[in-house]
Amino acid sequence: MPTAKTLISTIKRLVRSTCDVLMPRTCPVCRNALSAVEPFVCQHCLDLLPRTLFETRTFNPMEQLFAGKTPIVRATGFFYYRKRSPYTNIIIDTKYHNSPRLGQWFAHYAADSIKSSHFFDGIDCIIPVPMHASKLAKRGYNQAEYIALGISQATGIPIAHNVAAVLPHDTQTRKSIYDRWKNTQGLFAAVDASMIENKHVLLVDDVVTTGATLLSCAKAIENVPGIKISLMTLASAILD
């Protein structure tokens, strides 16, 4: 007798295959059609994903980026974000092409993949990097919320919202690294900080480039008594 879980997944697959005939879904990386058992990214592209494996390395390049700026326990970005690499489409589609569920699914996959490294051990809650209300109104969703949801589903760690975006964020695309640092100061503030006292929190975002946004977010809570902060992103533009 099939269990309720296998029955639901069979039904899901059937619905997917029917929809695929009507409107084929494609992999954001290679743009080939997805099979019914591939919800968002094809297996071939997942197998070739340029993993950083930062979570397996002591004082990895992402941890080095934050050293001396704010106390960080651990940090990892799941795969290398290289310009012109088709893998960047996972982030671009999640952020700009109204595919937050892709980010959620991929975050679940990422968390599952790094779980055995003990990266999540001792973490009490996941805090998505918040988005200011003006940007949220424009985009309609905060991709970091969906990423936090995927990690939470894979690990069972609850999500908390103890950081708020208090100032709108200028676009950083054309700014120098120094301007980016300046531009992100004071963007975030702690909310109900007593709730995260003596907790180990995991700040999550889609991609780390200069680290300015994550740093600003960490700065907002670094003085909460007894707090420990770790960081996780789906992608890392920090190379070795």
Which residues contribute to the site for Zn ion (CB under 5 A)? 27, 29-30, 42, 45
Q: Name the residue nearer to Zn ion (CB basis): 46 or 167.
A: 46
Residue closer to Zn ion, measured from CB, 45 or 165: 45
Query: How far apart are CB 121 and Zn ion at their closest, in Å?
Result: 32
| 189, containing H or E segment | strand 188-190
> What is the rounded distance in angstroms from the CA atom of residue 239 to the CA atom of residue 140?
31
208: left (phi over 0), alpha (psi -120 to 50) or beta: beta
* Residues 155, 115 contacting (CB under 8 angstroms): yes
| Closest CB 83 distance from Zn ion, rounded Å | 19
Closest distance to Zn ion from the beta carbon of 106 (Å): 12
Report in angstroms how near the CB of residue 9 gets to Zn ion at its nearest: 21
194 vs 164: CA distance, rounded Å: 15
Q: Please state the closest distance from residue 105 (CB atom) to Zn ion, in A.
A: 14
Which alpha helices (DSSP H) does the chain contain, by range?
Answer: 4-22, 43-47, 61-66, 88-96, 100-114, 133-139, 143-155, 177-183, 212-221
The residue among 54 and 79 lying less far from Zn ion, judged by its C-beta, is 79
- Please identify, using beta-carbon distances, which residue of 43 and 194 lies nearer to Zn ion: 43
SS3 label, residue 41: coil
3 state DSSP class of 137: helix
**Residue 133, CA distances (Å) to 104, 127, 142, 165 in order:** 21, 17, 10, 8
Q: Which of 204, 157, 164 is nearest to 186 (CA)?
A: 164
Rounded to a whole number of angstroms, the minimum distance from the CB of residue 147 to Zn ion is 20
Alpha-carbon gap, residue 217 to 190, rounded angstroms: 9
The Cα–Cα gap between 146 and 104 comes to 5
Q: How far is the CB of 32 from Zn ion (least distance, A)?
A: 6
Q: Please identify, using beta-carbon distances, which residue of 42 and 227 lies nearer to Zn ion.
A: 42
Q: Which is nearer to Zn ion, 45 or 215 (CB)?
A: 45
Q: Which is nearer to Zn ion, 45 or 49 (CB)?
A: 45
